[in-house]
Structure 1
Amino acid sequence: MTSPHRAAGPPPLLRWRAAGLLPLLGLAIVTVIGSPLAFVGIQAAQTSWDQAQRLLGRPLIATLLWNTTALAGAVTLATAVLGFGAAYLVERTDLAGRRAWTVALTLPLAVPEFVRGYSWISLSSSVHGYWGAVLVMTCSLYPLVFLPVAASLRRGDAAAEEVSRSLGQGPLATLRRVTLPLTRPALAGGALLVSLYLLGEYGAFAMLRFTTFSTAIFTQYKLGFDAASASLLTLVLVLLTLMLVTLEAGAGRRGRTARRGTAGCSASPVRLGRGRLPAVAALSALVGTALGVPVYALVYWLFAGSSTTLPQASLLSAALTTFGYAFTAALTATAAALPVALYAWRRDTLFARTLERAAFLPRALPGIAVALAVVYFAIRYAQPLYQQPPMLIAGYVILFFPLALTAVRAALAQVPPGLEEVARSLGTRPAAVLARVTLRLVLPGLGAAVAMVGLTASTELTATLLLRPTGTQTLATQFWTYTSGLAYGAAAPYAAVMVAMSVPPVLLLTRRTLGPNPRTENR
């Protein structure tokens, strides 16, 4: 006998169409996002086997592989330690001024990596090479670990930690045996973003004179005009990305998701006692190094003068152009990420997991590879779009789609399981459930995705240099023009505006990602 709930649902044909449309839409989106990979493969296939062996067998390849992996390993480990430690101090201890510390620890995201490299190089030429890159990139990227871990600690049910302490376990034992496993998915996701950033970064490494795969690929494309050799190097980055995504997926599955209990249980804060002063000193040193140095450098060069032999461009025009392109790309990337994340969240199947992981692969492509792929497509199949704004927006969407996908899937993870099924059992159509229930719950996460993509797109450099319409200048391209000529004073205003424009999205990202603190609400 058919239950009344099942009879009230949509007809089987409509249910089949709704269930079949989402994976098809997700597949179409991931295919478009991954199209630069096809371009790289086509270009690499033009190289003969002997040429490929000679290229990949050169000592330079071993050096590039060592530089890239050693840097990624060191920075990922450093950001994981700093991000987790800072999140634990802010969310699980009786540290004073939690809100102020949260904002201060997140604000380094407002400073682009190449601006941070410029700030260190312009103040001291000794900051370069491997250790200079480790320092600069750690200061830039640790918030990518801090934010998801802090959100996991804030929203999670801390009953297990209370039980551990009640059984006589000390703070360190509880941290190692309970807290760390609960935050492992967030920690792994943040570490993945850090690693992906490092694989594709160019501007900061060029300033710091440290050679990685991304800088070598840029040289092959831009200076050597050797697309085939550059594509082979790019494929190595894609393989590294695939390994990282697989490792992150395994680490996330082994972790236990921290969920809020029905009563919103929060652990009583760990008392720092004599450790309060060292904790404050450590956080102050971190914020001072990550935020204080770039701010000081910008203020110094703003007052030191901006004399230069290069023509001055309109600062306001560059700022408005940057905002327009970045905001449009952020909205487009977030809208495209929603179907992919929604399907992977609803269907824990091999196809869904593969689709989601494949969407992360383009993040390993350097900006110049994505830009050339877009140019290749426009010239062959969409000639009217060549050197038009849609090309630059498409490049941004492809590059930063993984960021939007990460934010959207994190928002969906907070939706109570089975909620959509309950709504459908009451006779609500799937489209109405999506609009009235799911989207309303994940709306803060969508805002975080827009903020994250917009923040990153507004400071993108390499793809912008190739895809911008003729005569168009953004803040990043003007900044690069002046710094390439060592006109640090002239570059400072553009860097300052980029940082100022990035502060509101960072604050919004902090608020959307972390949300209210239940401990402060209960006081």
Structure 2
Amino acid sequence: MVTTQAPRTTRTGAGPLLSGTVALLVALTFIPLGYVAWAIVSTGPARVYALVVRPRVGELLVNTVGLVVVTVPICVALGVAAAWLVERTDVPGRAVWRPLLVAPLAVPAFINSYAWVSVWPQLHGFGAGVLVSALSYFPFVYLPAAATLRRLDPAIEESARALGSSPVGVFFRVVLPQLRLAVLGGGLLIGVHLLAEYGAFAMLRFATFTTAIFEQFQATFDGVAGATLAGILVTLCLVLLLAESALRGKARFARIGSGAPRILTPIPLRTFGPAATAGLAALTALALGVPVWTLTRWLLIGGTAVWSLSDLGTALLQTTLLAAGAAILATVLAFPFAWLAVRFSGPLARTVEGANFITSAMPGIVTALALVTVAIRFAPGLYQTTALVLCAYLLMFLPRALVNLRSGLAQIPPALEEASLSLGRSPAHTFFHVTLRLTAPAAAAGMCLVFVAVATELTATLLLAPTGTRTLAMRFWSLSSELDYAAAAPYATVLVLLSIPVTVLLFNQSTKVATA
């Protein structure tokens, strides 16, 4: 068993089939960006300038950038600290903390907002946005960080300790550098999600570019003003991508073999044990206890009168089918993107990696309007169809599968695939028996993340769904917008219950150690 820091392979050509397939998929991802660019160019520089320099835009910029700058580091700190306590120390109840710290993924951000507003009606503004976002999104860092810690070679950390390094020194010099890819990928997902989130911030009355774009289209259907704001949002996403790429660098850490059967001796916390336990308990109570208590309270207040089993059943079936279909498609299509980004270098690989994140950072309403415009003008038969809805989901959530697959592929030494080919195995055999097997946990995790995202998606579904579509998120939003919190509670509860098995599967897959 060896842990290596392997550079990106030196291959520069991806082959015509892979390049052509990926280029076609990238072209599709640029549809929303093309819509925004077309709307801005057709307006003219004078009006665009007038729209950009408005005081309102400055306020939205401060709110949105401030939210990302404050929330992402908090999520990283919470996720990494929790992962290190659970995976590397003797904190009591580690087997219990592992699933509890993943469980917040089952509670959508807008349901978290609904819960906190129910408990604290005066909660709104920047602080509220940071609070709810951090509690909703820190598992995006905790999950890959904990999974990476379980895969690291224990001998390296033990050697560092034997040479006199303290636990803190071992963490910063040995462990943290090997968590870089997982932490940066999770942080990027959080940042992109913050840029595109609508429901949670609308309920907290906190204005961001996304809420302003939705309100602009909803109130006046001013496509130019909305597209201008979306253009600024795309620029912010590009900044995030460049920052993540610069921090990530070119190093890749890969572990060959399953390693020795021994387990790293947990670090004793001694007098810090009660404080660590109290911190994990407080984090879990805030992230899970508040929404669970709120939903229970509203269900008791509403009683049996708020349960419409036929409507709930229809919403559950439609949500499950849409989410499962999008999850499978997104994971399959993410493979060529991830393969090109990890195994090859050059402009195409960099463009492929960035295109998906730029598109996913756009609000769902902008993606939906772009697809509606293209469908009406060039493919009228696609308008108001499930295929168009799935296309929107792919554009918005494919990065969730891509980040996981990229991390999984980066930990597979290219030498293993080359060895299989040198033994006379075909590329297809090598892919299915080496690459796919080793990336299966990462693929399953990405599929689960897409499923949860689609099940809780709201704005694009409202605009694109065929007549008669009533997902759980749509019904919840309709009732909660009317302040009928009791009637909305059953839909929120079923949505959380639907996400729990997927979250459990995500947790189980993350605990599996890929072996060669």
Distance 1:173 1:213 in 2: 41
Distance 2:250 2:514 in 1: 27
Distance 1:348 1:266 in 2: 37
> For residues 54-81 of structure 1, what are the alpha-carbon distances to aligned partners after superposition, in whole Å with 9 as ceiling and x for unaligned?
1111111111110001111111011011
Equivalent position of 2:357 in the other structure: 360
Distance 1:403 1:328 in 2: 15
Q: Are 2:75 and 2:134, in contact at CA under 8 Å, matched by a contact in 1? A: yes
Q: Are 2:441 and 2:512, in contact at CA under 8 Å, matched by a contact in 1? A: no
> For residues 258-313 of structure 1, what are the alpha-carbon distances to aligned partners after superposition, in whole Å with 9 as ceiling and x for unaligned?
63676347532211111111110000000000000000000000001169999997
Equivalent position of 1:421 in the other structure: 418
> For residues 362-408 of structure 1, what are the alpha-carbon distances to aligned partners after superposition, in whole Å with 9 as ceiling and x for unaligned?
11100000111111121112211211111111111111011111121
Distance 2:77 2:218 in 1: 37
| 2:380 aligned with 1:383 | yes
Distance 2:167 2:62 in 1: 38
Unaligned runs of at least 5 residues, structure 2: 1-11
* Mapping of residues 65-464 of structure 1, within 5 Å: 65-253=61-249, 257=253, 259=255, 263-264=259-260, 267-305=264-302, 314-464=311-461
Percent of residue pairs bearing the same amino acid type: 43
C-alpha deviation, 1:90, in angstroms: 0.6
Unaligned runs of at least 5 residues, structure 1: 1-15, 519-523
Q: Are 2:88 and 2:266, in contact at CA under 8 Å, matched by a contact in 1? A: yes
- 1:345 alignment partner AA: V
1:517–1:450 CA distance, 2 compared to 1 (3 A): closer
Distance 2:361 2:413 in 1: 33
C-alpha deviation, 1:30, in angstroms: 1.7
Distance 1:99 1:380 in 2: 55
1:71–1:453 CA distance, 2 compared to 1 (3 A): same
- 1:105 alignment partner AA: L
C-alpha deviation, 1:121, in angstroms: 0.8
SS in 1 for 2:206: coil
1:158–1:451 CA distance, 2 compared to 1 (3 A): same
Q: Are 1:188 and 1:252, in contact at CA under 8 Å, matched by a contact in 2? A: yes
1:345–1:165 CA distance, 2 compared to 1 (3 A): same
Distance 2:452 2:151 in 1: 25
Equivalent position of 1:11 in the other structure: none
- 1:77 alignment partner AA: P
C-alpha deviation, 1:38, in angstroms: 0.7
Q: TM-score normalised to the size of structure 2?
A: 0.93
> For residues 93-135 of structure 1, what are the alpha-carbon distances to aligned partners after superposition, in whole Å with 9 as ceiling and x for unaligned?
1123322211000000100011110111122212211111111
Distance 1:306 1:128 in 2: 29
Distance 1:70 1:377 in 2: 34
Distance 2:249 2:151 in 1: 19
1:309–1:445 CA distance, 2 compared to 1 (3 A): closer
Q: Are 1:199 and 1:237, in contact at CA under 8 Å, matched by a contact in 2? A: yes
1:517–1:493 CA distance, 2 compared to 1 (3 A): same
SS in 2 for 1:314: helix
C-alpha deviation, 1:516, in angstroms: 5.5
Higher deviation after alignment, 392-401 or 353-362: 353-362
Q: TM-score normalised to the size of structure 1?
A: 0.92
Query: Structure 1 residue runs of 4+, over 4 Å off?
Result: 306-313
1:256–1:516 CA distance, 2 compared to 1 (3 A): closer
| 2:463 aligned with 1:466 | yes
Instruction: Identify which of 487, 494, 508 aligns with 1:511.
Output: 508
Distance 2:435 2:29 in 1: 25
SS in 2 for 1:25: helix
C-alpha deviation, 1:435, in angstroms: 2.5
1:455–1:22 CA distance, 2 compared to 1 (3 A): same
Q: Are 1:183 and 1:256, in contact at CA under 8 Å, matched by a contact in 2? A: no
> For residues 232-263 of structure 1, what are the alpha-carbon distances to aligned partners after superposition, in whole Å with 9 as ceiling and x for unaligned?
11111111111111111121127663636763
Distance 2:402 2:51 in 1: 35
Distance 1:498 1:97 in 2: 28
Q: Are 1:153 and 1:258, in contact at CA under 8 Å, matched by a contact in 2? A: no
SS in 2 for 1:257: strand
Distance 1:517 1:309 in 2: 46
Distance 2:38 2:148 in 1: 42
Q: Are 1:110 and 1:502, in contact at CA under 8 Å, matched by a contact in 2? A: yes
Distance 2:103 2:423 in 1: 45
> For residues 129-181 of structure 1, what are the alpha-carbon distances to aligned partners after superposition, in whole Å with 9 as ceiling and x for unaligned?
11111111100000001011111111012333222211222112222222222
> For residues 33-61 of structure 1, what are the alpha-carbon distances to aligned partners after superposition, in whole Å with 9 as ceiling and x for unaligned?
22211111111212221111111111111
Q: Are 1:183 and 1:255, in contact at CA under 8 Å, matched by a contact in 2? A: no
C-alpha deviation, 1:437, in angstroms: 2.4
Q: Are 1:40 and 1:235, in contact at CA under 8 Å, matched by a contact in 2? A: yes
Equivalent position of 2:9 in the other structure: none
| 2:486 aligned with 1:489 | yes
Q: Are 2:181 and 2:407, in contact at CA under 8 Å, matched by a contact in 1? A: no
- 1:30 alignment partner AA: V
RMSD: 2.2
Distance 2:479 2:135 in 1: 24
Equivalent position of 1:521 in the other structure: none
- 2:408 alignment partner AA: A
Distance 2:290 2:195 in 1: 25
Distance 1:255 1:343 in 2: 16
SS in 2 for 1:42: helix
- 1:117 alignment partner AA: S
1:175–1:17 CA distance, 2 compared to 1 (3 A): closer
Higher deviation after alignment, 443-452 or 329-338: 443-452
Higher deviation after alignment, 485-494 or 47-56: 47-56
Distance 1:459 1:166 in 2: 48
Higher deviation after alignment, 177-186 or 78-87: 177-186
